[in-house]
Amino acid sequence: MNNNKWWKEAFGYQIYIRSFYDANNDGIGDLKGITEKLPYLSYLGVNLIWICPFYKSPMDDNGYDVADFYAVDETYGTLEDFRELIAEAHKRGIRVIIDLILNHTSDEHPWFIESRKSKDSPYRNYYIWQPPRYDESGNRKEPTNWASFFGGGCWEYDETTDEYYMKIFSKKMPDLNWENLQVQAEMVKVAKYWLDLGVDGFRVDAVAHLAKAPFVDSTMPTDYQYTPDWGKFSNLPKLHEYLKMMRKEAFSGYDLLVVGEVGGSALIEDALKYAAPEERELDMVFNFDHNWCNNSWSAKDRSELKINVPHLKEMFGKWQSGLYGKAWNALYWLNHDQPRVVTHYGDDEGPLHDRSAKALAVALYFMWGTPFIYNGEEIGMTNPHFKTIDDFKDVSFITQYYINVQNGADPEKYIAHASLSTRDNARTLMQWNDSLHGGFTKGTPWNLINDNYRTINVESQMKDPDSVLNFYRKVIEIRTKSAFRNIIIYGSYEPFLKEHPKVYAYLRRYEGRTMLIICNLTKEKAIVEGLPFTLIEKVLGTMNKQININQRMVLEPYEAYVLEIKEEK
């Protein structure tokens, strides 16, 4: 696997632009805000940033609903601001990838405005239109019974032409018709435009959904009005033709990274089709299997959250072992769609907040693959406390809330439970210091800031050598600059202590050297019997104490270590 692509040795950092830093004090994060914080990113040690969408958009889904692929939304700045950001990042040795949204546009995109005007529009087949069905009583029905990811059905009726268009997300995000060669050519042009402006690659949004199954009802059993059969538009064979076309027509000739988001219950076999070098589609994929290894779907509120360590270990092992030597891997705890990991899997409001944040970093970022931190993760940001529906911005949460309340759910209880998984958890303002609005803006901010910003913020942690931030800096330095970097980047992975219910441990081996990573991922003590290794060096730990791995060890809650060891013959 060691053919030294730059992105294999990178350490990434995802920026949710709207919440990162507001340079012009209008209350919304912007491109100049990122440029101003490049010194901080250099201080942190990352050398790759992924910026969430900044295209012109009505912001139904915070920029993933694109109205113009060639323009910067005025709330985020100008094209000149973007050019400056690229230039300044590159001066610092930081590469930049951006979101490429291939699956859909905004309903305010000129293509869709023209498409919906008539069945004869030259843009009609840029989108997926189908005639209605009718039941025995003559009532109009959707073309299929398929559900949308954001709630309700995946079809939206349009009176102008008496047809439905497909929208697997929001009704303001109509799906593009990838069977149309004109659509393919348009998206090639979009990708090349941004590559020629200097971006170093793309995170391809919702890439698993470009191909659709034939439009017949799902027979999957369900208690819902619409059937959540994601296989109808996820990871289908035709998709690979589209991606091979994009690689050949748009991506060839550039030294770039293309990482895909593959939801829809992607399997290892799917990932290999996308990311195996011989397939020439994507360079790596983000999978979601490790994101929900707790009881967040059943917990009444955050006090009931409990990590399922055996399930998490199984998911990590599946992807590490399944891809090693065959395709490259990506490592991340969360993105802009997922809960804050310290709340989700750690001790977010207890005395072990910092140690749990550090243990989670150790568990993940010494595995094999390219790491991506999500902004604020490096200081241990947590889920906020949402009180009413007015606290939410996420269109998918708001849609589901009103559906459930109309069906009899108690609003307060629904928020306490469903907010554990809302996308809004990741979208609160970045906590820079303890001043008003956490130093994000001097204006009126577009979103909430977590109440704990006075104690959890960048400025205070920069001053504290034992902070979560400074621990993350050590993790990044060990991975990118230390004598251990090749073991961590290119070494093999072997799970260890596989049956232990509380401890996640694994071995990394490369060119005769071995590292052991061992982490107690629970709020309870964990006992580990003596290990048959010789300790060479304690590289990093969440606790400052001497350890003897040859004797029975009692690991304190969230005690975790990165060790170089010698294996006994």
503-512 long-range contacts, Cβ below 8 Å, gap at least 24? 503/309, 503/528, 503/555, 504/309, 504/312, 504/313, 504/316, 504/363, 506/316, 506/320, 506/367, 508/366, 508/367, 508/368, 510/486, 511/486, 511/487
Q: Would you say residue 351 lies in a domain?
A: yes
- Please name the amino acid found at residue 231: G
Q: In terms of C-beta density within 10 A (0-12 exposed, 13-18 middle, 19 or more buried), how is residue 455 classed? A: exposed
Query: Cα separation of 304 and 456, whole Å?
Result: 23
How many CB atoms sit inside 10 A of residue 421's CB?
18
Cross-strand bridge partners of residue 56: 68
Considering the candidates 99, 142, 200, 261, report the single residue annotated as catalytic: 261
What pLDDT is stored for residue 485 in this prediction?
A: 98
**What is the DSSP pairing of strand 257-261 with strand 201-205?**
parallel
Please indicate, yes or no, whether residues 379 and 433 belong to a single structural domain of this protein: yes
Please indicate, yes or no, whether residues 458 and 545 belong to a single structural domain of this protein: no
| Max CA distance (Å), the chain | 78
Return the H-helix or E-strand segment holding 141: strand 140-141
Q: Would you say residue 101 lies in a domain?
A: yes
- Please name the amino acid found at residue 555: L
Please indicate, yes or no, whether residues 382 and 522 belong to a single structural domain of this protein: no
Please indicate, yes or no, whether residues 188 and 319 belong to a single structural domain of this protein: yes
User: Whats the size of the chain, residue-wise?
Assistant: 569
Tokens 């490096």 belong to: 378
Q: Would you say residue 280 lies in a domain?
A: yes
Please indicate, yes or no, whether residues 311 and 267 belong to a single structural domain of this protein: yes
Torsion of CA 493, 497, 502, 508, to 10 degrees: -20
Contact 100, 149 (CB under 8 A): no
Q: Would you say residue 502 lies in a domain?
A: yes
Please indicate, yes or no, whether residues 202 and 279 belong to a single structural domain of this protein: yes
Query: What is the C-alpha R_g of the chain?
Result: 24
Please indicate, yes or no, whether residues 523 and 399 belong to a single structural domain of this protein: no
Token pair listed for 317: 């092992």
The domain of 530 spans: 491-567
How many CB atoms sit inside 10 A of residue 364's CB?
21
Burial code (b: 16+ CB inside 10 Å, e: under 16) for 233-252 equals: bbbbeebbebbebbbeebbe
Q: Would you say residue 138 lies in a domain?
A: no
Query: Cα separation of 509 and 497, whole Å?
Result: 16
DSSP code of residue 307: B
**What is the DSSP pairing of strand 140-141 with strand 133-134?**
antiparallel
Q: Would you say residue 127 lies in a domain?
A: no
DSSP code of residue 559: -
Could you say which of 410, 444, 472 is where a domain stops?
A: 472
Catalytic status, residue 135? no
Q: Give just the sign of the alpha carbon dihedral 252, 258, 261, 264.
A: positive
Distance between terminal CA atoms of the chain?
26
Q: How many CA atoms lie within 13 A of 525 on its CB side?
A: 5
Contact 107, 173 (CB under 8 A): yes
Query: Cα separation of 195 and 93, whole Å?
Result: 17
Please indicate, yes or no, whether residues 284 and 376 belong to a single structural domain of this protein: yes
Tokens 């139904």 belong to: 60
Q: Into how many domains does the chain fold? A: 2
Query: Cα separation of 188 and 251, whole Å?
Result: 9
* Residue-level pLDDT, tens digit, the chain, 569 residues: 456 799 999 999 999 999 999 999 999 999 999 999 999 999 999 999 999 999 999 999 989 999 999 999 999 999 999 999 999 999 999 999 999 999 999 999 999 999 999 999 999 999 999 999 999 999 999 999 999 999 899 999 999 999 999 999 999 999 999 999 999 999 999 999 999 999 999 999 999 999 999 999 999 999 999 999 999 999 999 999 999 999 999 999 999 999 998 875 678 998 999 999 999 899 999 999 999 999 999 999 999 999 999 999 999 999 999 999 999 999 999 999 999 999 999 999 999 999 999 999 999 999 999 999 999 999 999 999 999 999 999 988 998 999 999 999 999 999 999 999 999 999 999 999 999 999 999 999 999 999 999 999 999 999 999 999 999 999 999 999 999 999 999 999 999 999 999 999 999 999 999 999 999 999 999 999 989 999 999 999 999 999 999 889 999 999 999 999 999 86
Token pair listed for 499: 């049956």
Catalytic status, residue 459? no
What pLDDT is stored for residue 448 in this prediction?
A: 96
Return the H-helix or E-strand segment holding 166: strand 163-166
What pLDDT is stored for residue 145 in this prediction?
A: 98
- Give which of 94, 99, 150 is closest to 397, Cα–Cα: 150
Q: Would you say residue 416 lies in a domain?
A: yes
- Give which of 568, 543, 563 is closest to 488, Cα–Cα: 563
User: What residues have CB less than 8 Å from 6, skipping those under 6 apart?
Assistant: 95, 255, 257
Please indicate, yes or no, whether residues 346 and 209 belong to a single structural domain of this protein: yes
Please indicate, yes or no, whether residues 372 and 421 belong to a single structural domain of this protein: yes
Strand spans (E) along 439-481? none
Give, in degrees to the nearest 5, the angle at Cα 304 between 300 and 306.
130
DSSP code of residue 124: G
Could you say which of 415, 440, 472 is where a domain stops?
A: 472
Q: Would you say residue 139 lies in a domain?
A: no
Please indicate, yes or no, whether residues 328 and 467 belong to a single structural domain of this protein: yes
How many CB atoms sit inside 10 A of residue 213's CB?
15
Query: Cα separation of 236 and 477, whole Å?
Result: 40
Q: What is the CATH number of the domain that holds 299?
A: 3.20.20.80
Cross-strand bridge partners of residue 489: none
Token pair listed for 468: 């979560």
What pLDDT is stored for residue 554 in this prediction?
A: 94
What pLDDT is stored for residue 363 in this prediction?
A: 99
Considering the candidates 142, 205, 354, 424, report the single residue annotated as catalytic: 205
